[in-house]
Every structure is written in structure tokens, then in C-alpha cells.
Amino acid sequence: MTVRIGITGAAGRMGRMLAEAIARSDAPAKLTAAIERPESTLLGADMGELLGGDASGVVMSSDLAAVADQIDVLIDFTVPESTLAQAATCAAHGLPMVVGTTGFSDEQAQALATATAGVPLCQASNFAPGVNLTFKLAEAAAKALGNSADIEIVEAHHRHKIDAPSGTALSLGEVVAKALGRDLSQVAVFGREGRTGARDRDTIGFSTIRAGDIVGDHTIIFASEGERLEITHRASSRMAFAQGAVQAACWLVGQSAGRYDMQDVLADQESKT
């Protein structure tokens, strides 16, 4: 069965990358709907022509509900407000949803969970397989080093990214905090300035860089007396994120209603190999 995929933010950097990833996918997948904001000047444009190829017949629309019967799953990498609006439409039409949007407030995160309670939802801060391996490596390092190391997370992204720290950095912090039995909301330190005093061993520090066209770099540092362990993932293209999201979308179709993440996708596929 060919999985019919819709994407939101279709004219943006990630939207175009998702469209390209669908076209490249080894899985039987096809782009059948492209959604943009109502004020976009590209409404009515053909996605194929927008990507520099022949016309594909997929025309940019601002109304997900109008094309809901043409897709099996929606991929959304936009902003929280847009994601929540699309989630309501997906819920109304029983559509599975893959969400890579970050920067949700606690209230928005709860609203998303409530809206999508009746459909399959795969949500992750990062869909790149290498990043998801980095989560496992960070967890293993935290368990091995225990409370003997100071932990710092440094992330860098392009100058247009609007949320900080990145969702991936926060996920790294959550993974490590959980491994150490800590509550990230109580131990996270977001930047330092002035006379901060000696470092509290239990804290997990976050540093953010926004510059140029950096796609996404994440380093988690475990520093103790006499040695330092650094685990780094660097993305050189958004294609890794897009391919992972398409992989998740194809997997999500047919799953029962519930909340999943990229770890679930990879674990299930690994068990079948």
C-alpha cells in the first residue's frame, strides 16, 4: 500500500526537504497534500515546480480539512500555534500525525496531547537516527559516570531558529536527568552571567548558539577531575531529519491510537530485521 502523506509548512526549508525525502523514500510513499499558511504568496503553486522539477499535481493549499481525505498521515514541522490548529483537524478526521515542531509551552504541550488522544501521534524533538542513537549514548554515559561528572549541553543552530534551547538539547537533558534520578525542571541552568558562585554538581547546564546557516550541532559534556567525555552529533543537512520523519510517517499508519516517538519507530523496525 502506498502511504499518502501531507505536509504542513510546505514552502519552508523543512517542508521542501520533507517533499524531497518523500520522493526519495524507498518505502511506498507519495506526497498528496501540501499545506501553507493562508497569507502565503505560494498558494496555488505546484509543489513539483516549486522544487525545481516537473509539475506534480500537488497544489499548495491553506485548508487541511479540504484535502484530509487525500492523505493517510500528516507531517508537521511548523510552530506550536499552527501545529495545534492542524492537530484539531487531524483529530476530527482520524488522521495520524507526525510532529517535529519544538518550542511548546507546558500548556501547548498538554493541548496537543489532549487534541490527539484519539489518533496515532509520533512526536519527537529530532527524527534523525543518529540523534536518537546519541540519546542512548548519553543515557549510558550518565549511568556509567553517575554523579561524578558535571554535565553541560551545548547546541548550535541557524540564525532563524526561534526557540532556545533546541528541543533536541532539552530531550538530551531529560534523558540524562532521568538516568540520574533528577528532575530537569529543578536542575536545569540556562546560561550563566556575573558572579554565579561555584557550580552545583547536580545542575545540568545549557548553552545556546545561533549563527549563520548551522543546521544543528549538539554536544553533551561529562566533565570530572582529570578527564572529560564529549558526545557530539552534527547535522550537515536537514535531509536526515526529513528522512526520519518520513520513516516515522510510514510506520505510524496502521498503528493504534496513542503517543509514540522515534525511539518506538526504530525499536520496532529493529525487531523485525
157 as an active site residue: the answer is yes
136 as an active site residue: the answer is no
Residue type, 33: A
Regarding whether 244 and 231 lie in a shared domain, the answer is: no
Domain of residue 61, residue span:
3-123+238-271
Share of the chain above pLDDT 70, in %: 99
Q: Indicate the pTM of the whole model.
A: 0.84
- Would you place residue 55 in the very low, low, confident or very high pLDDT band (cuts 50, 70, 90)? low
The arithmetic mean of pLDDT across residues 190-198, rounded, is: 92
Output the pLDDT for position 268. 79
How many domains, the chain? Answer: 2
The answer on pLDDT for 91 being more than 90 is yes
Output the pLDDT for position 273. 63
Regarding whether 119 and 23 lie in a shared domain, the answer is: yes
Residues 9, 16 contacting (CB under 8 angstroms): no
Active-site option among 30, 143, 157, 218: 157
Asked, as a colleague might, if the bond just before 80 is cis with ω within 30 of 0, I would say no
By C-alpha distance, which of 18, 24, 68, 70 is closest to 47?
A: 18
For the chain, how big is the Rg over CA atoms in Å?
20
Burial of 239 (0-12, 13-18, 19+ CB in 10 A): middle
Active-site option among 161, 178, 218, 233: 161
- d(C-alpha 127, C-alpha 265), whole Å: 10
Choose the weakest-confidence range: 43-47, 67-71, 115-119, 175-179: 43-47
Regarding whether 213 and 103 lie in a shared domain, the answer is: no
Output the pLDDT for position 105. 93
The answer on pLDDT for 83 being more than 90 is yes
